[in-house]
Structures are given as structure tokens and as C-alpha cells.
Amino acid sequence: MEVKDILARVQNNEMTVDEAERYLRQQTPRRSYEEMGFAKLDTHREVRTGFPEVIYCAGKPDEYLVSIFQKMYEKNGEVFGTRATETQYELVRGALAQVQYDRVSRILKIEDDPQKKAAKRIGKIAVCTAGTADIPVAEEAAQTAEYFGSYVDRVYDVGVSGLHRLLAHTETIQEANCVVAVAGMEGALASVIGGLVSNPVIAVPTSVGYGASMHGLSALLTMINSCANGIAVVNIDNGYGAGYMATQINRLAENG
């Protein structure tokens, strides 16, 4: 069926809006991407998954990154990139003056009417860190979730070496549809939070710590072996993956 046929069926009450949406998401035309030679931009991704393609900036050649940002902005009016450097920010800003860069999370983005988007955020996600050194990864998670339409509460520096700091925010984390627990060192924060809340916890191990932390491997193993229930674990320092998954959970909680 062509898109016009689907719209006509919806208009004539022969197909519900939900049925039409389901059908469109299942269709993947052969050229549902933008061919750039060095990249194939997945222009159909938001239709299929509910989320547009995101640019992983680290390691991309300068001219490729600028061209990708320009093309995605041309197609969507918005662009979201992760793990960008200040040098990459300056390069992209030379072509797209409205681009914004956050030096903590290293997110590089262009948003269409940020204030309007912020007012429409739904649900609640709590993003927590064990220490201040974990905040860059936590901000990647929090800002990813916000970009995709979720409301986020930040609860930072509440690690197990001072457990009373976390307990002072129990109500906030228990009200959230999902909690993101970001921790390095031994990674115990996720287990503690898992024992306090009824909703899912996404654990994010970070590479913060001394030698035996093995660049986050110690925290990763602790989180995978957690005794607490309802904990899922993403890769080391993967704040973006946690923010994306938390948004999926938050949407399900709010929209059913």
C-alpha cells in the first residue's frame, strides 16, 4: 500500500491510527536511507523504532562528520551527536552556527525549539551517580533521555561511602518510572538502588577508579552479579545506551 492509501483508509475509518502506524513501521523500502558514499543515513529509523538516528562523533573524519550533520539537519531539522570533541564542535559550528555543545557530556546537537520540547517532556527518569567523577557519563544519559522527550531528575554524588545522601532522595528515585545508576570504583550503587525501588534500574559502570578497577571492568562485573532484582546493565561508560533504554521504559510506563 502507498502512504496515500493508508491515509485514505484511516480517513474512511477502514483502518485505525494504531494499525496504520504498525503497518508503516513494518515497511522498510529498499532506499529508506540517504546514500552519501561514506555513510548511509537511516532516514527510516524513527518510523521503525520511534527514535531517529544518532551520530557517534568519536573517530569520524572531519569532513564526514560535518557532511553528516548538514544532511541530517536538512532532513530532520534536528541532530543529536555523542562523544564529540571541542575541535569537532568548532568544525560543525563553522557550517551550522546554531549547533550546541556540552563540554561535560560531550553531546553535540541542534534542537528545534528547545523550550517547547522541554515543556512537553513526559514521565520521570531518575539519573543517579555514585560520585562527581561519574557525572559526564550520567549527563550523557540524562541529556539523551531529555532530547527524546523524557523528564529527568538528577541525583548526583550519592555513592555508598555516604549512604545517607542517597536515602535523603528515596522519594525521588521511587517515583521514577526508571532509574539510571551510574558508578565506577566497585559499582555498588546499582545494587543499593535496586533494593529500594519497584521499577527497573539501568546500571552504567564507568571507567572511574584506581588501577584494580581495570577501567570499569570491576564495576561492570559487580553490576552483572548484583543480588538485587530488576537491574539491567549496559556497557562501560555507555550513558547514551542507558538514556535510550530508560526513555523506552518511560514511554511504555506513560503511554501503555
In a shared domain, residues 108 and 173:
no
In a shared domain, residues 133 and 36:
no
Which of 94, 112, 130 marks a domain boundary? 112
Q: What string of DSSP letters covers the chain?
A: --HHHHHHHHHTTSS-HHHHHHHHHH---TT-SEE-SS-EE-TTHHHHHSS---EE-TT--HHHHHHHHHHHHHHHS-EEEES--HHHHHHHHHH-TT-EEETTTTEEEE-SSHHHHHHT-EEEEEEEESSGGGHHHHHHHHHHHHHTTEEEEEE-S--GGGHHHHHTTHHHHHHSSEEEEEE-TT-THHHHHHTT-SS-EEEEE-S-SSGGGGGGHHHHHHHHT-SSSSEEE--TT-HHHHHHHHHHHHHHHHH-
Which of 112, 132, 153 marks a domain boundary? 112
In a shared domain, residues 157 and 96:
no
Q: What is the pLDDT of residue 51?
A: 87
Cell of 210: 584506581
Is 24 part of a structural domain of the chain? Answer: no
User: 166 is in which domain, residue-wise?
Assistant: 120-255
In a shared domain, residues 127 and 196:
yes
pLDDT per residue, tens digit, the chain (256 aa), is 566 677 788 888 888 888 877 777 666 565 677 778 888 888 878 877 888 889 999 999 999 999 999 999 988 889 999 999 999 999 999 999 999 999 999 999 999 888 888 899 999 999 999 999 999 999 999 999 999 999 999 999 999 999 999 999 999 999 999 999 999 999 999 999 999 999 999 999 999 999 999 999 999 999 999 999 999 999 999 999 999 999 999 999 998 7
Which of 87, 112, 137 marks a domain boundary? 112
Q: What is the pLDDT of residue 246?
A: 97
Is 61 part of a structural domain of the chain? Answer: yes
First vs last Cα of the chain: how many Å apart?
A: 28
Please list the residues that pair with 27 across neighbouring strands: none
In a shared domain, residues 129 and 100:
no
In a shared domain, residues 136 and 85:
no
In a shared domain, residues 125 and 235:
yes
Task: Evaluate if pTM is beyond 0.85.
Answer: yes
Q: What is the pLDDT of residue 104?
A: 97
